[in-house]
Structures are given as C-alpha cells and as structure tokens.
C-alpha cells in the first residue's frame, strides 16, 4: 500500500479564516450586532440567560491582536474578551428561562442560531489566545518530571492545604465596612460559575477514554445530586442566594461580575471544551476540588457570622465534605492511573493545569478584595474630587477630558478604565454605581475618583446631567 505524503505544517496553505486578524475583527463586530448584547437601561437581567450586555459598540476600537500580559489582565479589553468568551462558551449549554418562554423565544433562537454559531467559531479561538496565552509565559513546568517528583509536589500541596488557617476571602468579608454587602458581592461573583456548576466538567462526559471516563462520571454525578434536583450543587447554591435576598436565575448580576471572576469561569471552559487540554483539566480539577474544602468550611462559618441563622449554607457544608472525596478521587483514580496509562510525558500538562487554576483563583480573590476596598472607600474618593478638579484647572499640562451630556435614566453599562479617571459633574445629578445596590450620589460641583481596573457604572437622576471624565492616569499626581 502506498502511504499518503505527509504535509509539513509550514507548507499547508494559510487560510484567512484561521490566520487573518481582520477576519476575526469582522466576525466579532458582526457577532456584536445583536439586541441580545446591546446596552440596556437596567442593572439586572432577571430570568433571561440570553441577554448579556457586551458593549459591542466599542468592539471596533479594541485590539485583541497581542495576547494580554499578566499586568493587563484587568483592563477594559480583557473584560470585554471575557464577557464575550463566556457568552460563546455557554451557547453550548442548555439554558432555559424559568418563566414565560414565549416572550423570550426569539432571544433563544438568536442566542443558539446559525449566525452566532458561525461567527462564534471564528471569534472564540482568538479570544482564548488573547486571554490565556499569558499563562504559557507566567507558568513554567520545565525540567524532567517523574511520577515520584509529581507525587512529592502534590503531596506537599495537600499537606499545605491541611495546615491552611487563613482565608483571604473570609477575612475581607468580615473586615469590610459593610460585611453583608461584601458577602452578597462575593456570592454573586461565584454565581456565574456555581449556578451552572459542573457544566464545563460535563463536556468530558462524552467520548471514549477508558476507566478515567467512568471516574470522571462519578464526580460529575455527585455534582448533579445523583439526579435528585434539590441536592444538585447548583440547586444548593440557588438556596444560598435566595436566603440572602439575591435572585437565583443565572447571570441576573452579569454587569457586576468582575473581569477576573469571568476569567476563572472561562478558564474551566477553556480546558474542558478543547479536549487537547484534557490533562491540564485533570490538574486544574484536582486544584479546585482540594482548595475548595477549606474555603467552603470558612465561607459557611463566615456567612453565618454575617447573616445569622437565616443564611442557607448547605452548598458550602456539602462541599467542605464531598470535595474531600473528590480531591482524593481525582488524585488516586484519575491522575495516578493516567500517568500509569499514558506515561510521564503528560505530567507537565497536569502540573500546568494545577498551577493555572491556582494562579487564576488567586488573581480573582485579589481583584475581589480590591473592588471591596474601593467600593468601601466611596466617601473618601468622592471627597478628593473637588481638590483634584481645582488642580487640573490650574495645571498647564491638563489631562485628556471627555464631556458627556445625558438625559434622565441613561445608564452606563458597567466597565473599567485602564488608568485612574476623575468623574466631575458640571450640572445635574448622577448616581455612580460601584456594585449591586451600592452607589454614591454626585451633584454639580462634586465628583469621584475612578481607580484603574475598578468596575463601575452610572445612571442619570436629573432631567439632564453634564459631566466630564478626566483621564488623570495616576491619582497621586493630582493630590498635591
Ligand atoms: Fe460541587
Ligand atoms: Fe466537587
Ligand atoms: Fe467609566
């Protein structure tokens, strides 16, 4: 038999669909031309999983060509990429509203429609490289890994987890000026992932990969409550949200997700959707199941401390228990047998996934801590505005300024800026929003400092409001 000639990679014809940035940019813009993703006039979208503001009118000004670096993860372009990527990933999942499907039927058709599928297929891999390439540079798994060195590595992690006493998330909630608000903010950050819990994992249920597949399924079926709806982990999480007065339909709080929360959620889809990353997922899964044990134990106590007995902490109690098993199941029944079956060559992938999950979790935690601190400091940032404004007026080297005139009810969908900004009101009244049900009212002659990377939005509360946004770059420079 004659063998077909193998075509080396660099001799294959280049396809614009695969390689050409302009093709991607056109597809992204076309994808954004939809009511589903346009700006809205409310903060929340209840019970419609298809509608997600992406601020698509800004797409054409953004450049996704050069992958993000570690320092750029919280920029506006990154937030846009994360919002869009999660929307694309979730078009693989069954999402149905609880009520009134008839009025949302057209949204459903569009969300899952041919146009979104074709455009999404081009857009998704570009956004993935844009968001996640930094991991390749940040995390090094070089050197020769053996079964013994991997065991040593993971066992020292397990020992460290057992000794862990501090929990930055819990301490942040308790130390906040408004612990109940900080706790709700934390719960709604996690809701993006937890209300669809195990959906990314479920992408690995199909296929044909031997005993590992059955072990994966055992974990999956635990996550799904063995088919008993009330005990599904996502159902338990609905209970937690409702017990503190939050809505439990997915993505009601879309606008209040921090970029880093979306990035972490996207990461699990990133390693689960493309099965070439399966071994990385094993490492990431091991990290998540293990780190979750102590976190959930602390969260259950902390939420009780903040809200009293009315808070439903079953979700956290369940995980403090079951993830002890899941951690061992992933390690003993999946990671060790996988290395045995497929050889030591897969260890760097496993370790990479493990380190990536850990890094992205740390980044999300720190971003949350910074957002709570900034939001808690609203009065302080407001108090600085008049002096900064005077200093700008006196300065010969004035920062770039943009003026906006907006009518009552005009809502600025939440976003971030890449440098510090001064928002200053010339006339009228603006409600400046730093989180769900958290805002500060700004009148003429008042303003606030918007710190770099901090999520915010605004709504006009007078017949008209004229305000300026000064791109001050770094707030310290304008304080003296
Ligand atoms: Fe779970
Ligand atoms: Fe689990
Ligand atoms: Fe802004």
Per-residue H/E/C for the chain: CCCCCCCCHHHCCCCHHHHCHHHHHHHHHHHHCCHHHCCCCCCCCCCCCCCCCCCHHHHHHCCCCCCCCHHHCCCHHHHHHHHHHHHHHHHHCCCCCCCCHHHHHHHHHHHCCHHHHHHHHHHHHHHHHHHHCHHHHHCCCCCCCCHHHHHHHHHHHHHHHHHCCCCHHHHHHHHCCCHHHHHHHHHHHHHHHHCCCCHHHHCCCCCCCCHHHHHHHHHHHHHCHHHCHHHCHHHHHHHHHHHCCCCCCCCCCHHHCCHHHHHHHHHHHHHHHCHHHHHHHHHHHHHHHHHHHHHHHHHHHHHHHHHHHHCCCHHHHHHHHHHHHHHHHHHHHHHHHHHHHHCHHHHHHHHHHHHHHHHHHHHHHHHHHHHHHHHHCHHHHHHHHHHHHHHHHHCCCCCCEEEEEEECCCEEEEECCCCEEEEEEEECCEEEEEECCEEEEECCCCEEEECCCCCEEEEECCCEEEEEEEEEECHHHHCC
Looking at the CA of 55, name the nearest ligand: 3
- Name, in order, each residue with C-beta under 8 angstroms of 255's C-beta and a sequence gap of 6 or more: 43, 44, 53, 413, 414, 457
Spacing, Cα 250 to ligand 2 middle (Å): 20
Question: Residue 480's pLDDT is what?
Answer: 81
Please, is 183 exposed, middle or buried when counting C-beta atoms within 10 Å of its C-beta (0-12, 13-18, 19+)? Answer: buried
Cα 327 to ligand 2 centroid, rounded to whole Å? 8
CA of 229 to the centre of ligand 3 (A): 41
- CA 460 → CA 383, 427, 448, 463, 469, distances in Å? 20, 11, 15, 8, 15
Alpha carbon of 417 to ligand 3 centroid (Å): 6
Rounded distance from Cα 257 to ligand 1 centre (Å)? 20
Whether residue 238 is predicted with pLDDT greater than 80 in this model: the reply is yes
Both structure tokens of 409: 């009810």
The position carrying tokens 């570009």 is 126
Centroid of ligand 2 to alpha carbon of 319 (angstroms): 6
- The vertex-89 CA angle with 88 and 90, nearest 5°, equals 90
CA angle 462, 464, 469 (to 5 degrees): 105
Centre of ligand 3 to C-alpha 457, Å, is 6
The number of the ligand nearest the C-alpha atom of 231 reads 1
In the predicted model, what is the mean pLDDT of residues 446-454? 98
Of residues 254, 261, 262, the one with CA closest to residue 44 = 254
CA atoms within 13 A on the CB side of 368: 28
Q: How much is the average pLDDT of 445-451?
A: 98
Residue 280 CA to ligand 2 center (angstroms) comes to 17
**Interior CA angle at 285 toward 354 and 64, to 5°?**
65
Predicted confidence (pLDDT) per residue in 284-321, tens digit: 999 999 999 999 999 999 999 999 999 999 999 999 99
Residue 468 CA: which ligand is closest? 3
- CA of 202 from ligand 2 middle (Å) equals 13
Question: Alpha-carbon distance 312 to 30, whole Å?
Answer: 43
Kindly report, residue by residue over 51-102, the tens digit of the pLDDT. 999 999 999 999 999 999 999 999 999 999 999 999 999 999 999 999 999 9
323 Cα to the center of ligand 2, angstroms: 5
Share of the chain above pLDDT 90, in %: 94
Distance 240 CA to ligand 1 centre (A): 14
DSSP β-ladder status, 464-473 and 411-415? unpaired
Q: At 10, is the pLDDT very low, low, confident or very high (cuts 50, 70, 90)?
A: confident
Tell me how far the alpha carbon of residue 99 lies from the centroid of ligand 2, in angstroms: 30
Instruction: Please name which ligand lies nearest the alpha carbon of 318.
Output: 1
**Distance of CA 214 from the midpoint of ligand 2 (Å):** 15
* Locus of tokens 């200093």: 391
Beta bridge partners of 464: 407
Delineate the domains of the chain, giving CATH numbers in brackets: 14-132 (no CATH), 142-376 (1.20.910.10), 378-478 (2.60.120.10)
154 CA to middle of ligand 2, Å? Answer: 18
Which ligand has the nearest atom to the CA of 216? 2
Q: Which ligand is nearest to the CA of 219?
A: 2
Per residue in 140-190, pLDDT (tens digit) is 998 899 999 999 999 999 999 888 889 999 999 999 999 999 999 999 999
Q: Which is more confidently placed, 214 or 165?
A: 214
Inform me whether the pLDDT recorded for 3 exceeds 70. Answer: no
C-alpha 233 – ligand 1 centre gap (Å): 5
Q: How far is the CA of 413 from the centre of ligand 3 (A)?
A: 9
């Amino acid at each position: 038999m004659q063998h077909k000639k193998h075509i080396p990679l660099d001799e294959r014809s280049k396809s614009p669909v695969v390689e050409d940035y302009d093709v991607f940019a056109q597809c992204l813009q076309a994808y954004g031309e939809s009511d589903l993703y346009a700006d809205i006039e409310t903060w929340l979208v209840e019970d419609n999983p298809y509608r997600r503001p992406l601020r698509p009118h800004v797409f054409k000004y953004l450049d996704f060509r050069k992958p993000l670096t570690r320092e750029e993860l919280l920029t506006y372009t990154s937030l846009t990429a994360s919002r869009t990527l999660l929307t694309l990933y979730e078009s693989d999942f069954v999402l149905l509203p609880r009520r009134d499907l008839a009025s949302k039927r057209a949204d459903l058709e569009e969300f899952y429609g041919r146009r979104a599928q074709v455009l999404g297929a081009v857009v998704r891999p570009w956004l993935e490289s844009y968001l996640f390439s930094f991991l390749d540079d940040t995390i090094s798994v070089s050197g020769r890994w053996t079964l013994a060195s991997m065991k040593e590595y993971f066992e020292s992690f397990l020992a460290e987890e057992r000794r862990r006493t501090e929990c930055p998330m819990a301490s942040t909630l308790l130390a906040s000026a408004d612990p109940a608000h900080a706790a709700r903010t934390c719960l709604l950050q996690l809701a993006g992932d937890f209300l669809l819990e195990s959906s990314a994992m479920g992408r690995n249920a199909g296929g044909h990969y031997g005993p590992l597949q059955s072990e994966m399924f055992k974990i999956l079926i635990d996550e799904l409550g063995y088919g008993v709806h009330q005990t599904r982990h996502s159902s338990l999480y609905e209970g937690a949200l409702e017990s503190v007065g939050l809505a439990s339909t997915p993505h009601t709080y879309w606008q209040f997700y921090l970029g880093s929360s979306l990035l972490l959620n996207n990461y699990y889809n990133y390693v689960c959707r493309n099965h070439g990353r399966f071994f990385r997922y094993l490492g990431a899964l091991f990290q998540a199941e293990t780190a979750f044990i102590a976190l959930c134990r602390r969260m259950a106590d902390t939420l009780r401390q903040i809200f009293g007995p009315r808070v439903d902490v079953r979700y956290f109690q369940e995980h403090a228990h079951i993830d002890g098993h899941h951690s061992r199941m992933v390690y003993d029944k999946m990671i060790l047998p996988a290395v045995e079956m497929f050889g030591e060559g897969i260890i760097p992938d496993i370790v990479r996934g493990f380190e990536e999950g850990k890094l992205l979790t740390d980044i999300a935690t720190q971003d949350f801590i910074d957002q709570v601190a900034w939001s808690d400091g609203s009065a302080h940032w407001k108090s600085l505005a008049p002096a900064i404004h005077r200093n700008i007026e006196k300065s010969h080297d004035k920062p770039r300024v943009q003026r906006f005139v907006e009518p009552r009810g005009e809502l600025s969908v939440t976003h971030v800026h890449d440098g510090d900004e001064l928002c200053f009101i010339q006339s009228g009244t603006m409600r400046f929003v730093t989180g769900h049900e958290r805002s500060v009212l700004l009148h003429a002659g008042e303003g606030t400092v918007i710190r770099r990377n901090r999520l915010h939005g605004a709504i006009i509360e007078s017949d008209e409001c004229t305000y300026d946004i000064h791109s001050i770059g770094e707030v310290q420079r304008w304080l003296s």
